[in-house]
Amino acid sequence: MANSLRVHYVPCGMTLPNLLTIARLLLVPVFVVLYRTGNHTAALAVFAAAAITDGLDGMLARALHQESRLGSILDPTADKLLTLAALILLVSSGQIPGWLLVIVLLRDGGLVGGTLLLYFQGTRVPVVPSRFGKYATFLLVSTVALALAKEMLHARLLAPYVFAFSVIAAECVMISGGQYFAQWLSLMRRRRIA
């Protein structure tokens, strides 16, 4: 949602960073199929590749000055689809606690609902993640990667780490949800005053 950060957008949407983001979107069904068919090693490799493109596309967009409106929509969409797909699969197989998925769904559902409400009222909402939103994404990806490694290696020793990362990720998700809610309230107040 809103942030004090000012972003300059390039007019053309098909940039190298956006192509990497599209590749990440295309890797989501590949990851799901590999995991569902029991090929956990390949699923972890695909998830890791997708996670790397997440860091790489943002870094390239800034370095090449290729930030675009399309990228500002595609990037968080790709992040959420990949993370949600992985969380749903890992919760269903008992690798990650179900409450983490519930917390993520509540935050993301509220974010989408609040953004749509403002959009239909004629308020343009900047798509800029908060700092804790970025922390939450990193920690969720780390939690998923650990859970995938635990399942692939049959390493019960990793279970406490998966749980610890789940707790920290949940805290960051809740804090970022609170930040987004505060920004949403601020935008609603400004709209009423205007």
Rounded to whole angstroms, how far apart are CA atoms 184 and 151?
A: 39
Q: Is residue 107 part of a domain?
A: yes
Lowest mean pLDDT among 66-70, 86-90, 144-148, 149-153: 66-70
CA atoms within 13 A on the CB side of 91: 17
Q: Is the pTM of this model over 0.75?
A: yes
In angstroms, rounded to a whole number, what is the distance separating the alpha carbons of residues 123 and 117? 9
Q: What is the mean pLDDT of residues 113-125?
A: 79
Q: Is residue 39 part of a domain?
A: yes
Statement: residue 87 has pLDDT above 70: yes
What pLDDT is recorded for position 8? 46
In a domain, 152, yes or no: yes
User: Would residue 5 count as lying in a domain?
Assistant: no
Q: What is the pLDDT of residue 145?
A: 95
Q: Is residue 113 part of a domain?
A: yes
At 87, which CATH number?
A: 1.20.120.1760
Per the prediction, the chain carries an average pLDDT of 85
Considering the domain boundaries, does residue 21 fall inside one? yes
The domain total for the chain is 1
Sequence-ordered list of residues with C-beta below 8 angstroms from that of 170, at least 6 positions apart, any chain? 99, 100, 103
**Which residue segment(s) compose the domain that 78 sits in?**
16-193
Assess if residue 8 is contained within a domain.
no
Residue 25 pLDDT grade (very low, low, confident, very high; cuts 50, 70, 90): very high
Specify if 4 maps to a domain. no
Residue 124, phi-psi category: left (phi > 0), alpha (psi -120 to 50), beta (remainder)? beta
pLDDT at 10: 46
